[in-house]
Structure 1
Amino acid sequence: MSLVTSHSPHGQSSLRTVQVLGGGSVASSAHVRSLAAGLVARGVRVTVCAPAEAERAYDFTGVGAEHVHVPRSSDPASVAALRSVCADADLVHAHGLHASFRTALALGGRRTPLVVTWHNRAHAEGARAHLLRMLERRVVRAATLVLGTTSDLVDRARRSGARDARLGAVALPGRREAERDDPDRLPPKILAELGALGRPLLITVGSLDPCRGYDVLLDAARVWRGLEPVPLVVIAGEGPLRAELQHRIDQERLPVRLVGCRDDVGELLAAADVALLTSRWESRSVLAQEALHARVPLVATRVGGVPDLVGDAAELIPYGDSAALADTVVRLLDDPARRAELARRGVEQAATWPTEEETIAQVLSVYDELTQPRPLT
């Protein structure tokens, strides 16, 4: 009998799962919350092991899961805490490389099925890159199954020695439809605060770190200074490069605003004329998905899972090519018909992506497969 569908005498599912989350990107944290909600609604008992700040931000207990604070660390105390939580789990599901590594250490030689989801790919250079490759190999060889959110992540897991690696459906949870036809969608006060009244608004969202390609974006912004009116580039996010980027913006008098982490990113995006994704690598970019849902024309680098994600509903450019970025944006701003076409295609492409229901159904199917008793041979 399936453990997912069987029930205890108390009317609850006999399946107990532990979801392990590290620091957690926005995408992976939102996915774990969505997954927890869907599993709990179907009678599965869910414990989320994550830092306390992740619980405060995503409220896993609010959807019926139990939360256990486990720091984003692989020190012995954190591993021991995780080992204790996983002791009576039927299945453990870890999200991200570092959380998966801690989980592999905690499970040790136990036969508890371990599912690992790779939402993204860690970036590093030099000795740290070698360490990351070692962690990847350790994780995929310990995992019963690796789910990759893109086909290239699945291929990477297989090359690293995964016993079983498959494409994993991941929806964009909690999305709200943007109302781009509403003239009051963004208060004029906010537009005035940003300096965006009467000029094109270009938006990008993401942490201020080297893999985002913001140096290339600033190079392109030098070209846009010559347009009339001059577009405003808004970068929402925080990170280690803030001071360096701000210095360049000030020194070169670039039409760029660093606005930090905002709680109105959806509204800012809905008001944008063009969304920009300049990263070195992306899997299922949240920004790309939000832009297409919101009917905002997207210019993105042709990297990772982006081409498969957006299809022909975005303008794709090579990573690191500031001239291609600048020229593509100028062409879009001068071509309302092309922007309208991309908006239409974006909605059509978004309709092909997995829903939350489909994502939960796939995960339940995997859990069922991995927890069914094996026949004796």
Structure 2
Amino acid sequence: MRVLQVLGSSAGGVGRHVGQVVSALSSAGDDVVVAGPAVVRPLVGTDARFEAVEITDRPRVGDVAAVRRLAALGRGADVVHAHGLRAGALAILGVRGLRRAPADGSRRPHVVVTLHNLPVGGRAVRAVSAVLEGVVGRGADVVLGVSPDLVTLATARGARRAELALVPAPRAAAAEDDPAQVRRTRAALGLADDERLLVTVARLAPQKGLGDVVAAARVLAGTPHRFRWVVAGDGPLRGELEADVRASGVPVELLGARDDVGALLAAADAAVSTARWEGQPLWLQEALAHGAAIVATDVGGTGAVVGDAAVLVGAEPASGIGGAVAEAVARLLADDDARAAVRGRARARAAALPTGADVVEQLTAVYAGGATGD
């Protein structure tokens, strides 16, 4: 089967997911081509041919050229699988124009769109998103959502078939869990023996609620626990967060982008997510694999990912998230038995998360719908 995977500008998570899908499909024998902005090429790996198509996160004049390019790349494909709302809408507009001569014996490709994010922004952003959601809902043969609320949204927008997308869970490297490696990781961070390590992995963007990391750290600073809270990731809010940390004087350190996230999670006394919305967060899946004690806001698909293997905190009201997170973390740090129980459930949950083979099985069934012929 020839499959065209399409994605737009990606903050990382979508690109890595597409890379996982491409690798799994290629290993299963499918002929996969990836189309997307040149900047995402390193994220999707080298298991498929890459075609540069500039798909940005905002409407622009160049969208017309992108639609034409996707139409050309879609000709001859059995399936066009787009990731994200903008990429999905542009792919549908391109494929919709494909009408082949009867002698060709082929029909337009089956169109699948995976929604990875809930639109975040003001009234104008939401209005544009609603239009694109309608295009995707009515134009795709199948819509996959990485969280239950996105599946519900797709159905409300007219999707003929919508279901929860399986996201392959990253596997933990055994070497990262080695006690000697844990000691080296802590030493590299300059931690004292009695300091607890809290780890958050996130893009420094509004959706991740990182102001609540600082708010929670303020509350924790008033408890007996001596701790260091590190945030691995980069993004547009870095300057603002650095200023907030300096003004607060809390023991929070912004590490920037890291290539040793697994080692950080293996060394963590707790992994903490303060996100305002998540799909199927890959870093929390990785934290489960390392047996981390997780505290997370119960938003989007987070609860579906962690099950009973984390302490979940309500996200309403938003003004109280920092205090609620701090309280949950403090309880875990104060109770070694409770923390050990959460760690044990985390490893068990990780073993039940989807694998690459599970994803291939789902996509094979989704793709098998074939061309619509209309």
Query: TM (normalized to structure 2)?
Result: 0.89
Match of 2:271 in 1: 275
Deviations 1:22-70 (A, max 9, x none): 12343322232222223223332111102222222332xx32x211111
- Kept in 1, the 8 Å contact 2:204–2:233? The answer is yes
1:362 and 1:255 map into 2 onto residues whose CA distance is 44
Tell me which residue corresponds to 1:32: 18
**Post-superposition shift, 1:166?**
1.6
Identity %: 39
Q: Does 1:71 align with 2:91?
A: no
Where does residue 129 of structure 1 map in the other structure? 126
The one of 187, 197, 204 aligned to 1:201: 197
Note closer, same or farther for the CA distance 1:342–1:24 as it changes in structure 2 (3 Å cut).
Answer: same
Equivalence for 1:8: none
- Kindly tell me: are residues 372 and 138 of structure 1, through their superposed partners in 2, closer, same or farther at Cα, counting changes over 3 Å? closer
RMSD: 2.0
For 1:34 and 1:243, how far apart are their aligned partners in 2?
32
Paired residues of 1:22 and 1:71 also in contact (CA < 8 A):
yes
Alpha-carbon distance change, 109 to 202 in structure 1, aligned in 2, over 3 angstroms: same
- The structural deviation recorded for 1:153 is 1.4
Query: In 2, distance between residues paired with 1:368 and 1:280?
Result: 35
The farther-off stretch of 178-187 and 305-314 is: 178-187
Aligned twin of 1:243 = 239
Letter in 2 for 1:130: A
CA contact (8 A) 2:115 2:146 kept: yes
Query: Once the two structures are superposed, what CA deviation does each residue of 1:109-129 show, in whole Å capped at 9, x if it has no partner?
Result: 434221011123231122112
Q: Give the match for residue 311 of structure 1.
A: 307
SS at match of 2:130: helix
Q: Displacement, 1:371?
A: 4.1
Shift of 1:187: 5.7
Q: Deviations over 1:170-228 (max 9, x none)?
A: 2124x23455752222464x534533232100000111111111111211111222344
Residues in 2 aligned to 1:178 and 1:42: alpha-carbon distance in whole angstroms: 26
Equivalent residue for 2:147? 150
Q: Which amino acid aligns with 1:195?
A: G
Q: Distance in 1 between matches of 2:71 and 2:15?
A: 21
Secondary structure at the counterpart of residue 352 of structure 2: coil
* Bigger shift: residues 29-38 or 207-216: 29-38
Q: Please, which of 241, 264, 267 is the counterpart of residue 260 of structure 2?
A: 264
Pairing of 1:1-377 with structure 2 (within 5 A): 15-59=1-45, 62-63=46-47, 65-73=48-56, 75=62, 76-110=64-98, 111-173=108-170, 175-178=171-174, 182-186=178-182, 188=184, 191-198=186-193, 199-319=195-315, 320=318, 321-371=321-371
AA paired with 2:208?
Answer: R
Q: Cα–Cα, structure 1 residues 155 and 57, in superposed 2: closer, same or farther, change >3 Å?
A: closer
In structure 2, distance between residues paired with 1:291 and 1:317: 17
Per the alignment, in what secondary structure is the counterpart of residue 369 of structure 1?
Answer: coil
Pair 1:181–1:293, CA change in 2 (3 A): closer
Count of residues in Structure 1 that have an aligned counterpart in Structure 2: 355
Distance 1:211 1:314 in 2: 20
Tell me how far apart the structure 2 counterparts of residues 350 and 308 of structure 1 sit (CA, whole Å): 12
Q: Alignment partner of 1:24: what SS? A: coil
TM-score by length of 1: 0.88
Offset from partner CA, 1:276-317 (integer Å, 9 cap, x none): 111111111112211111100000011111122211110011
Q: Distance in 2 between matches of 1:242 and 1:119?
A: 23
- C-alpha separation between the residues in 2 aligned to 1:179 and 1:326? 31
Q: CA deviation at 1:149?
A: 2.1
Distance 1:287 1:181, change over 3 A: closer
Aligned to 2:118, the other structure's residue is in SS state coil
Q: Distance in 2 between matches of 1:131 and 1:140?
A: 14
Contact residue 218 and residue 254 of structure 1 kept, 8 A: yes
Offset at residue 229 of structure 1 (A)? 4.9
Contact 1:317 1:325 in 2 (8 A): yes
SS at match of 1:351: helix
CA contact (8 A) 1:179 1:270 kept: no
Alpha-carbon distance in 2 for matches of 1:30, 1:322: 29
Aligned to 2:101: none
CA contact (8 A) 2:293 2:310 kept: yes
What is aligned with 2:102? none
One-letter amino acid of the counterpart of residue 106, structure 1 = G
Does the CA contact (< 8 Å) of 2:177 and 2:266 recur in 1? no
5+ long unaligned stretches in structure 2: 99-107
After TM superposition, the structure 1 stretch with the greater mean CA deviation from structure 2, 106-115 or 287-296, is 106-115
